[in-house]
Amino acid sequence: MKTILNYGGGVNSTALVIEIVNRKMPLDYVIFADTGSEMPETYEYIEVMKDWFKKKNIQFVIVKNKYNQKLYDYYFDKKTIPYRLFRDCTDKFKIQPILKFIKEFKKEGVNQYIGIAIDEARRMRKSDTKWIEFVYPLCDWGVNREGCIEIIRKEGLPIPIKSGCYLCPFQPQKSWVSLLKNHKDLFKKARLMEEQNLSYPKNTLTWQHNLAMLERSIKEQTKLAIDGQGYVCQGWCMT
């Protein structure tokens, strides 16, 4: 039985790999599925972790999609956007590249460690593949997100940002505002993708408002209604 850890470069998966190593649990590979469109801070953190993995003699593998494209370019070229309903971006750029790698171990079977903390236990599910078993050690140990942060601190490593693509349609509005504030070039790219998609403005990357409206509201210090409530983006979104 091979043991493989899905690594996203965020708090939960970083804490998970630290604990697995410290508890001397089986671990054959740590796998990072590179979409090519992660946040810059995540790529910087991956470089930090590469050194840590090397010191701990951990096999770290980076896998990529079959399209040989960055996630952004794939959807931009098709004049569409990642849709929350289908989650096809996760499947094509995360799940399938990892699955392709671990199929090599199909005969012996795979335990796949997944970094879901106890406060997100609702996300746990069983594997649909007979020879793969999903394992959620953080939930088994009762470790929440704050506990994950403490594990990373004790290891002497910096705390990573929340992992995810900069154009992720699941991110909350405050993350989009943070992207505009800290990475204007990436916000501009995301907005261009949103506006050139063939179903715009019906379908957008944000939950209720398009990125142009969000950007304008910040510049003009106006409010956007969210679930019937008005929030001033300047201040509320910057926390």
Which tens digit of pLDDT belongs to each residue from 39-87?
A: 999 999 999 999 999 999 999 999 999 999 999 999 999 999 999 887 8
Say if residues 97 and 64 touch (Cβ distance below 8 Å): yes
The residue type found at 180 is L
The residue type found at 169 is P
The token duo for 232 is 């001033």
Between CA 23 and CA 104 the distance in angstroms is: 27
Between CA 146 and CA 73 the distance in angstroms is: 35
**Which regions of the chain are under pLDDT 50?**
226-239
Pair type for strands 60-63 and 110-113 = unpaired
Instruction: Give the model confidence (pLDDT) of 23-32 as tens digits.
Output: 999 999 999 9
Say if residues 160 and 45 touch (Cβ distance below 8 Å): yes
Give the single-character DSSP code of 223.
E
Q: Is 214 helix (H, G, I), strand (E, B) or coil?
A: helix
Could you give the domains of the chain? 2-154 (3.40.50.620), 173-236 (no CATH)
Say what the pLDDT of residue 208 is.
77
Alpha carbon 108 to chain centroid, angstroms: 29
Quote the pTM value: 0.89
Per the listing, tokens 């804490």 go with 15
Q: Is 128 helix (H, G, I), strand (E, B) or coil?
A: coil
Say if residues 167 and 35 touch (Cβ distance below 8 Å): no
